[in-house]
């Protein structure tokens, strides 16, 4: 389940687009000229399930905050840790410990203490026996139910764990920690509305329950309600401005809302208030990446890896930063690290295939996309990317077949229609290409790449008026459009007999080609202007 405490690097266009690679010569329509460079997606970075589980179980206090538990104040812990006995025979934080203890209850407490020791040693079966014994002696032992629930979770028996949380609550209706732990389990199993209810019950009992507000925010973030999540994080931080998890989660929510600049401050505060907070470094790296500050992004993700070298998502995201920095070999090394650890990672094969395509190693890319399709036959993106790689290898029949498969799986993805249109154009089927470009534009009115490509296809098919309209639409939206757009609008104007306007466009194209050092394009424009 992909729910976020951590967020994301956004999509980065690393290798250009068709609009940037239209050929200077109208007569040469090749795969190289029409193949859209692939876009590397950067995946979401979420809390690892094991990380979530470790925060929810009654283990040793985590590094973020380690105060002593006060009586009836589970919120003073940085994690949902049930009240622990100081010895096998006493339980300071239990009201019962302040009164004389009967021999029977003393036996229950001893069994409970032995269970805690076994639990801490990860001897879960033995711990379960001791908690069972404690509960058999004292069926109203709320703390024993809570610890037994944690033991069941460690043994992956979530049903039994949930039953014990319910029993703990029925025994002690004001047990805020039990509601919190129950909510955390609901969160982990994807029962988000039930999680919200449980966290709200915990907060009703203990209004300053920082961790409950934090997890309430996480639950809302999992439901894509990031503004609601921010409100809960703010309440948590109102009670404890230094609580690092809420600071980190606040930054993550801001990243989801694309408020990257605003995300830096809470993530920095999380780092300052916590030692070795790998997730905060990783998220801040994400924010820097989206702000285009790639060196800072790389530094933060490197720090995250130094802290936690087992973080697969850190290697994953660093590979995209390396790609954006023009270091494809380093990016491939990181992706290979991911695949070594997760040999069935669909995302890693997709990323590596995309990198191979960008490097021109289309055969290797096709092999990776084949693997993705083996693992997920419904991946329209894998078919689309494999189609593009086939097209780049001039295997146009295979490319068209893959585009057809991709459309069958996802008939509303404009990128697939754009890709198939490119393949049709290379194949010489301009009417089919124009039809697909048109549909791609209908699906995304702002798709300038499809609009420019349709203009080129219209020009090649002899429809200079339609071509002029498409290129003009691109220029109206972006007067700084590249040289190719002005060049082809100039050619369209030549065909329409407007030599004066054509000269202006060709002059604009020449200036742009010269500024970008594209000598071939510059010479082609000069040749056309001589004809005028």
Average pLDDT, the chain: 84
Which residues have CB under 8 Å from 319's CB, separation 6+?
A: 330, 331, 332, 333, 334, 335, 338, 351, 355
Is residue 219 a contact partner of residue 187, using CB atoms and an 8 Å limit? yes
- Residue 337 has a pLDDT of 98
pLDDT band, residue 532 (cuts 50/70/90) = confident
In this model, does residue 359 exceed pLDDT 80?
Answer: yes
Note the maximum CA span of the chain.
108
* CA–CA dist 283, 204 (Å, integer): 31
pLDDT tops 80 at residue 76: no
pTM, whole model, 2 decimals?
A: 0.75
Cα 327 from Cα 382, distance rounded (Å): 24
SS3 annotation, 248-284: HHHHHHHHHCCCHHHHHHHHHHHHHCCCCCHHHHHHH
Q: What is the mean pLDDT of residues 230-235?
A: 98
- The answer, yes or no, to whether residue 198 has pLDDT greater than 60, is yes
Res 170: pLDDT: 98
Q: What pLDDT is attached to residue 101?
A: 57
HEC letters along 277-322? CHHHHHHHHHHHHHCCCHHHHHHHHHHHHHHCCCCHHHHHHHHHHH
> With 80 as the cut, is the pLDDT of residue 125 above it?
yes
Task: Decide if pLDDT at 389 tops 60.
Answer: yes
User: Is-contact 35 425, C-beta < 8 A?
Assistant: no
As a whole number, mean pLDDT of residues 18-29 equals 27
Is the predicted pLDDT of residue 143 greater than 70, yes or no? yes
For 231-238, what is the mean pLDDT?
A: 98
Choose between 98 and 361: higher pLDDT: 361
Q: Is the per-residue pLDDT at 44 higher than 90?
A: no
Task: Give yes or no for residue 83 having a pLDDT over 80.
Answer: no
Q: How far apart are the first and last CA of the chain?
A: 63
Split at pLDDT 50, 70, 90, the class of 100 is low
d(CA 300, CA 263): 14
Choice between 487 and 67, residue whose per-residue pLDDT is larger: 487
* Residue 353 pLDDT: 98
Give me the percent of the chain exceeding a pLDDT of 70: 81
Q: Average pLDDT in the 188-202 region?
A: 98
**The pLDDT of residue 65 is above 70:** no
Lowest mean pLDDT among 53-62, 78-87, 274-283, 303-312: 53-62
Q: Alpha-carbon Rg of the chain, whole angstroms?
A: 30
| Per-residue pLDDT at 259 | 98
d(C-alpha 282, C-alpha 317), whole Å: 9
Confidence tier at 25 by pLDDT (50, 70, 90)? very low
* pLDDT in the model for residue 62: 24
Lowest average pLDDT, out of 52-56, 220-224, 268-272, 317-321, goes to: 52-56
- Over the stretch 241-297, which tens digit does the pLDDT of each residue have? 999 999 999 999 999 999 999 999 999 999 999 999 999 999 999 999 999 999 999
The DSSP line for 169-192 is HHH-TT-HHHHHHHHHHHHHTT-H
* Residue 464 pLDDT greater than 60, yes or no: yes
The arithmetic mean of pLDDT across residues 42-47, rounded, is 32
Q: What is the pLDDT of residue 5?
A: 43
Quickly count: other Cβ atoms within 10 Å of residue 476's Cβ. 9
């Amino acid at each position: 389940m992909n729910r976020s405490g951590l967020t994301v690097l956004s999509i980065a266009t690393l290798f250009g687009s068709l609009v940037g690679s239209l050929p200077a010569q109208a007569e040469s329509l090749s795969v190289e000229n029409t193949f859209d460079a692939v876009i590397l997606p950067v995946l979401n970075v979420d809390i690892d399930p094991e990380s979530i589980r470790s925060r929810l179980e009654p283990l040793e206090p985590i590094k973020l905050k380690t105060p002593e538990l006060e009586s009836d104040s589970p919120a003073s812990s940085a994690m949902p840790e049930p009240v622990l006995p100081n010895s096998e025979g006493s339980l300071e934080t239990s009201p019962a410990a302040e009164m004389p203890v009967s021999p029977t209850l003393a036996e229950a407490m001893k069994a409970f203490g032995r269970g805690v020791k076994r639990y801490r040693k990860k001897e879960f079966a033995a711990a379960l026996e001791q908690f069972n014994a404690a509960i058999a002696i004292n069926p109203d032992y709320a703390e024993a139910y809570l610890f037994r629930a944690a033991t069941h979770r460690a043994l992956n028996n979530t049903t039994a764990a949930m039953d014990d949380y319910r029993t703990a609550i029925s025994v002690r209706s004001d047990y805020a920690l039990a509601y919190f732990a129950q909510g955390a389990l609901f969160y982990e199993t994807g029962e988000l509305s039930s999680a919200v209810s449980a966290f709200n019950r915990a907060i009703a009992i203990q209004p300053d329950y920082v961790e409950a507000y934090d997890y309430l925010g996480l639950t809302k973030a999992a439901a894509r309600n990031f503004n609601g999540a921010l409100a809960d994080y703010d309440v948590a931080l109102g009670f404890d401005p230094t609580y690092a998890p809420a600071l980190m989660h606040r930054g993550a929510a801001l990243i989801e809302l694309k408020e990257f600049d605003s995300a830096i401050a809470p993530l920095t505060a999380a780092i300052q208030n916590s030692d070795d907070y790998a997730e905060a470094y990783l998220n801040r790296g994400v924010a820097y990446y989206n702000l285009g500050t790639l060196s800072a992004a790389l530094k933060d993700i490197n720090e995250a890896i130094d802290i936690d070298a087992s973080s697969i998502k850190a290697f994953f995201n660093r590979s995209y930063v390396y790609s954006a920095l023009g270091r494809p070999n380093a990016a491939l090394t990181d992706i290979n690290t991911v695949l070594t650890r997760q040999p069935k990672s669909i995302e890693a094969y997709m990323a590596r295939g995309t990198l191979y395509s960008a490097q021109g190693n289309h055969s290797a890319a096709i092999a990776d996309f084949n693997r993705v399709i083996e693992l997920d036959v419904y991946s329209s993106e894998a078919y689309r990317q494999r189609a593009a790689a086939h097209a780049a290898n001039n295997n146009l029949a295979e490319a068209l077949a893959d585009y057809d498969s991709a459309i069958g799986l996802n008939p509303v993805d404009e990128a697939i229609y754009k890709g198939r249109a490119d393949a049709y154009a290379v194949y010489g089927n301009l009417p089919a290409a124009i039809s697909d470009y048109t549909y791609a534009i209908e699906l995304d009115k702002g798709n300038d790449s499809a609009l420019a490509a349709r203009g080129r296809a219209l020009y090649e098919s002899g429809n200079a008026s339609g071509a002029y309209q498409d290129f003009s639409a691109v220029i109206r939206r972006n007067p700084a459009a590249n040289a190719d757009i002005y060049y082809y609008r100039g050619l369209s104007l030549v065909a329409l007999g407007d030599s004066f306007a054509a000269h202006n466009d060709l002059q604009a194209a020449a200036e742009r080609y010269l500024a970008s050092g594209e000598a071939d394009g510059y010479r082609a424009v000069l040749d056309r202007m001589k004809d005028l």
